[in-house]
Amino acid sequence: MKKMIGMCVTSCLLLGSMGAVAAQADKPEAHPIPVPIASTPQDSFNKMNYILVVNGKPLQDRSVYSSENELMIPLRSLTEALDYKVTWNQEKKTVELQQAAQWFSLTIGEDRYNVARMLVQLGKAPELKNGRTYVPLSFAEKVLKMRTKVDETGVITISASEDAVQNMLQTDGVITEVKDLESSNKLLYVMGKAITPNGHSSIALNIDDKTEIIDGVTSKPLTAKDIKNNMKVQAFYSPKLTKSLPPQGHAERIVVFQQLGKVTGTVTEIREDKDNTLVHVDGDSDNKIENDVVLGFNEETTVLSVDGKTITKEQVKKGDKVTAYYGPIMTMSLPPISNANTVILETK
């Protein structure tokens, strides 16, 4: 988990310090401008405001914090979302968790987590802050046996180890197209990363009045009218899919985050950095620097072929045509610099 926090910090340093990739000879010289970085409500480089998403549902609790390079998460909010009974002993400063035959206990200030009467160390003791118990994020993975993921914008996803939500499939990515259907229904095309084993990197999903749509920032319910192109989403859907390309099915739940930036153009330069690959995209392939974007390819970047197959970042070459979704954080330099979320290689 320290690696994930380090990635967030690295992304910040990347966006704040690296200069723009050199422009082509017939473009004016680009001069990065040292100004504050634009952000959405959950993004802050000085104090990251994290969002907890548990089994596809964002929690109202926004009290995640960092302590000694470890993310600390609210124990009661997490475990009650997973239907655990939580018992606090004020005198002993201990917490007991129980769900059916599963039983765990922990003591504030002691890096000894009692798992089925066996002690497990996580390298970080539970802490009491403002009258609430916090545990390291690794508690979810190593004690509760959940899967965890932290992205560069502060979204923390915690999901069941087998499937993200019961028998649902999950894809995290971006909405590339929205089509209106009858009776206010919509058809979404989502491209990104398959999270569950049988999920798809490219999927078409029908949204109707049975689809649960949630704002990942506020946890408030949304409607199909709120769904827009270029939105970053977590999509949960039934395994009953057509055999078309892309497969098509019904969206059970859509968790909506930020609206990302989009650029379509030609790759003019690729440069290797310490932790990222920097890719200069000539927006609209028009040789006008004001339409360009410098993209940081990192371990969170998903690269797909135009037919939705996952490919490696190394397959993107100078001269290739791409469509890239980036952000939501970007510098206000010329050209702007931002981390790439999803990149579609259009050159065959």
pLDDT digits (tens, 9 = 90+) for 49-105: 899 999 888 998 989 999 998 999 999 999 999 999 999 999 999 999 998 878 999
Tell me, yes or no, whether 25 lies in a domain. no
Tell me, yes or no, whether 139 lies in a domain. yes
Same domain, 155 and 251: no
Same domain, 121 and 134: yes
Same domain, 65 and 155: yes
Beta bridge partners of 103: 98
CA 208 to chain centre: 25
The one-letter code for the residue type at 333 is S
Same domain, 250 and 290: no
Same domain, 242 and 275: no
Element (H, E) at 324: strand 321-330
Domain count, the chain: 3
CATH of the domain at 286: 2.40.50.140
Same domain, 182 and 150: no
Same domain, 283 and 245: no
Please report, in angstroms and rounded to a whole number, the separation of the first and last CA atoms in the chain.
Answer: 37
Q: Are 227 and 254 in contact (CB under 8 A)?
A: yes
Tell me, yes or no, whether 295 lies in a domain. yes
pLDDT of residue 166: 52
Same domain, 270 and 342: yes
Same domain, 74 and 101: yes
Same domain, 269 and 306: yes
Tell me, yes or no, whether 97 lies in a domain. yes
Compute mean pLDDT per 10 residues along the chain, 348 residues long, and list them: 44 42 41 33 51 90 92 96 94 93 92 88 96 96 91 87 63 96 90 92 95 90 93 94 94 93 96 87 94 94 94 95 94 93 90
Out of 124, 141, 161, a domain closes at: 161
Q: Can you give the pTM of this predicted structure?
A: 0.70
pLDDT of residue 164: 41
Tell me, yes or no, whether 191 lies in a domain. yes
| H helix count then E strand count, the chain | 3, 26
pLDDT of residue 41: 39
210 by Cβ neighbours in 10 Å (0-12 / 13-18 / 19+) ranks as: exposed
Tell me, yes or no, whether 90 lies in a domain. yes
Tell me, yes or no, whether 55 lies in a domain. yes
pLDDT of residue 48: 66
Out of 259, 276, 302, a domain closes at: 259
Out of 225, 259, 293, a domain closes at: 259
Tell me, yes or no, whether 23 lies in a domain. no
**C-alpha to C-alpha distance for 279 and 317, rounded to whole angstroms:** 9
CATH of the domain at 69: 3.30.457.10
pLDDT of residue 22: 39
pLDDT of residue 12: 43
Same domain, 55 and 132: yes
State the residue range of the domain holding 59: 51-161
Same domain, 82 and 125: yes
